[in-house]
Structures are given as C-alpha cells and as structure tokens.
Amino acid sequence: MSECGSTCSASTTSLTKDLTKSLKMGEIELKILLEEFRNASNEEGLLEKENFFDVIKNTLSQKFDIQNSMPAFHRIYEAFDLDGNGAIDFVELATGLSTLLYGEEKDILRFVFGLIDVNGDGSVQQEEMIDFFRKFFIGQAEMNGYKLTSQRWKTLEDYLSRTFTSTDLDQNGTIEFDEFVQAVDDPDSPLGMLFLYFHSTHSAHH
C-alpha cells in the first residue's frame, strides 16, 4: 500500500481536475477511484494485477458488470497497461475506464480489437484470436461452475478457425480493424458477441 503525505489532498484535487478535462469521468468519481487506487497500489504507486480486480469492484461494482467481465479481465488489465511495464498507474487506469465506460462506439471497437491484438501490431492473427477466446471461455466456465472439456474446446476452436477465415476478407492471414468492424455487425459471431459483451457495459452509462 502506498503512503499519502501532507500534499496528498492538493495533489489529488489537481490530478482529478486535470483528468476531468481530458476524460469523460466526473471529478467525484475520479477522486473515489484515486483513493481506492492509492490504497491498493504498491510502494512505486503502481497497481499490480492481483489488486486490479479489487479496485474495480470497490469503485464501480454498481456501474460495471464485474461478474460477467471476469473472463476477460486478464486482457483488460494488459490493455490498460499502455506502456507495457506490467503494472498500471492511475492515469492508465482512469483512461482505460473512461474509454470502456464512456467512450464513443468507435472507442469501444478499438478497445475490444486491442484486447485480441495481443502483440499490438494493428492486426489479429489466428493464434491470437483463438488464444484469447480459449482464456475467455475457460474463464466463463470457471465463473459458471462447469469445466470446459477438451472435446467442447475442440468444437469451439474449429468454429473460431472458420470464423477467422470468413472474417479475413482479403485472405492475407490476419484480421485488420476494418474487417473486425464488419464482423461485429453479426451478433451471433464470436467477435460480435465479444463486442456486445463490452458494449452492454458501456450502454448502461448512456
């Protein structure tokens, strides 16, 4: 837990006011988030993955669909870690939540695409897509108290492979963002389902 000195109140006000100007979260909401962040962050003032869920749960449980978002939390955390140093600072946390909860539809599309594009090269390879959904479905199974059997996963993996091929319109072996945008128009496809999964959380704030 990080310590807060005598200048904490002034710095909190300054930080939250500055962020309110650039983000869509309100100053009161940011102050609550900052307090929880400081309670959970390490000595360097960074939030590690094991404490990330607690901060989100304590600050946004009434607004954010925590339970249903758990299967994707490992990638949400990584997506928030903008500089890739393995931990999240407060600006990264506030920026990520602002995008997820209050962003425009194009922001949500970019966010979800970024969750799957693990290496951040601007396109999704088949292995990236399958690995993401493997972790996603395993998380859903654990959350709902059942086991994802190898036979069930093989069926899902075959379906995901076919989905990748049909989404890769130019057949260059990767899914670009414009191809992804077209794919999410189908709510019954895995990519469409994933987009709706996060868009429903976003929609609750509008």
**What pTM was estimated for this model as a whole?**
0.72
Domain 8-102 falls in which CATH fold? Recoverin; domain 1 (1.10.238)
Extents of the domains making up the chain: 8-102, 105-203
Q: Classify residue 22 as exposed, middle or buried by CB count within 10 Å of its CB (0-12, 13-18, 19+).
A: exposed
| CB contact at 8 A, 70 and 29 | no
Q: What secondary structure does DSSP assign to 60-113, as a single string?
A: HTTTS-HHHHGGGHHHHHHHH-TT-SSSB-HHHHHHHHHHHHH--HHHHHHHHH
Tell me 6's DSSP state.
T
Are 8-102 and 105-203 equal in CATH topology? Answer: yes
pLDDT band at 10 (very low <50, low <70, confident <90, very high): very low
Q: Per the CATH hierarchy, to which homologous superfamily does domain 105-203 belong? A: EF-hand (1.10.238.10)
Confidence band (pLDDT; 50, 70, 90) for 182? very high
**pLDDT tens sequence across 96-148:** 888 877 778 888 899 889 989 988 899 999 999 999 999 888 878 877 788 88
Task: Tell me how far apart the alpha carbons of residues 60 and 142 are, in angstroms, rounded to a whole number.
Answer: 23
Report the distance separating Cα 8 and Cα 58, nearest Å.
21
